[in-house]
Amino acid sequence: MKEKKKLDLAALSSIPLIMTLANSMLIPILPLMQRELKISDLQTSLIITVYAAVSIVCIPIAGYLSDRFGRKRIIVISLIVVAVGGLVSGLAAWLMSMHSSYYVILLGRFIQGVGAAGAFPIVIPLVGDMFDSKEEVSSGLGMIETSNTFGKVISPVLGSALALVLWFLPLAVIPLISIFSILAVIFFVKAPEPGDSAAEQDSNTDNRFRSFVHHTVSLLAEKGHWLYAIFAIGCLGMFIMFGFLYYLSSVLEHHYHIDGIKKGLLLAIPLSAICLASYITGKIVGENKLRMKVFSAIGLIVLTAAMVTCGLANTKGLWFLISLMFVSGGGIGLVLPSLDALITEGIEKKQRGTITSLYSSARFIGVALGPLIASVMLKSEAWLFYLFAGCALLCSILALFTIKPNKEKKEHLKS
């Protein structure tokens, strides 16, 4: 990888790190927020869910805008929106009374979700645009996914530590850390710009949009047999991950009476497995699509086995539970960079932003549903784990039977 590109990649890696902190820092302090705001379990889960839910709608729009106006421009604007949303939530928690501040905090999280839609999801196609070598693309995506999961590793500890100072500080620091990423992208990222001039684009907006929709529909019709499978796997994988993190956060506090930094450190254990596995997978898969498929299938089978074991066994044994969560994280870490690489390698640059955004929307559906479903099923934990196991098993079947990289290669050669 060229030396000058390493600086670009480092700046881009700050985006998933910060977007992850904006969401995952709140997971360990949700019980604390519930007590401070005097809200229910369901209302508490919405603090995570609303951020992800609005992103689901906005991500495809951001993908289209990035294809047309340039990825760097959309990323910078989106990061500014994230900072504004963080400012709204932080000021509401600081200045308003308990329960009334909850709804303004949700408004701030809504704004953050709009911004997040045009930040991290656009990074994946931008990495594909920046490198010509497939091996460099795969390695770059592994680094991006590692940054994403590294954010998840440090976020429980950082969120817990900040909450010891002020309970709402994890909300209030988002604007500050967003500024760091904004400056890094502006000064260090040299992104390819769209080919046409702005005047040409404006004069043909309607035709271009109709053409965009037509080409997207045609692409999905041609490659949907594996793209839809990857969308489903990404969605269900994030559903499982955020569901078991919400469950683990609740169990540590309510059953073991563990909170603060110690709780953050325990939550970081399964997340560190995701980070380590993502980094290794990104290095190993290279441009080998068959290897991407195999890693995805193995990771999903491991995840299925771990979730079944959680359902059958006594998960109230702390270190046994943490060990199973660590294994589950390792399985997810094998899957995520493989899916990123499969999409980036299989889609042409001009439509990569749109398709990657659809994939990111699917992932955010999982992020939104995970805490929500887990909060409803906390008292039926065995069935919660069986649900996770069933989802993981379905994903492994999809990975094995719908992703056919050899067939894709032959079709490409024929064309």
Q: How far apart are the first and last CA of the chain?
A: 30
Which amino acid makes up residue 63? Answer: G
Span 359-397, pLDDT tens digits:
888 888 898 899 889 988 988 888 999 999 999 999 999
Q: Which residues contact 307 (CB under 8 A, 6 or more apart)?
A: 240, 244, 328, 385, 386, 388, 389, 392
Query: Angle 98-117/41-69 helices, nearest 10 degrees?
Result: 30
- Position with higher pLDDT, 405 vs 128: 128
Alpha-carbon distance of 257 to 170, in angstroms, equals: 21
Does position 84 have pLDDT exceeding 90, yes or no?
yes
- Does pLDDT of 202 surpass 50? no
Task: Look over the chain and give the mean of its residue pLDDT values, rounded to a whole number.
Answer: 83
Q: Which residues of 133-153 are buried (b: 16+ CB within 10 A; e: fewer)?
A: ebebbbbbbbbbbbbbbbbbb
The pLDDT value recorded for residue 407 is 53
Question: Is 403:229 a contact under the CB 8 Å cutoff?
Answer: yes
Residues of the chain with pLDDT > 90, as a percent, come to: 31
Summarised one tens digit per residue, pLDDT across range 143-173 is 887 787 788 788 889 999 999 999 999 999 9
Confidence of residue 314 (pLDDT cuts 50, 70, 90): low
Count the Cβ atoms, other than its own, within 10 Å of residue 324: 22
Q: Confidence class of residue 298 from pLDDT cuts 50, 70 and 90?
A: very high
Helix (H) or strand (E) holding 219: helix 205-254
- Cα gap 109→176, rounded to integer Å: 16
CA distance 97 to 101: 6
Nearest CA to 86 among 58, 115, 45?
115
Q: H/E element holding 259?
A: none
pLDDT in tens, 322-368: 999 999 999 999 998 888 888 877 777 666 667 777 888 888 889 88
Q: Angle, nearest 10°, between helix axes 120-130 and 134-165? A: 150
Instruction: Work out the average pLDDT over 243-248.
Output: 89
Nearest C-alpha neighbor of 325 from the set 284, 401, 377, 272:
272
DSSP sequence for 11-66: HHHHHHHHHHHHHHTTGGGHHHHHHHHT--HHHHHHHHHHHHHHHHHHHHHHHHHH
Q: Is the pLDDT of residue 246 over 50?
A: yes
pLDDT tens, 37-62?
A: 988 888 888 898 898 888 888 888 88
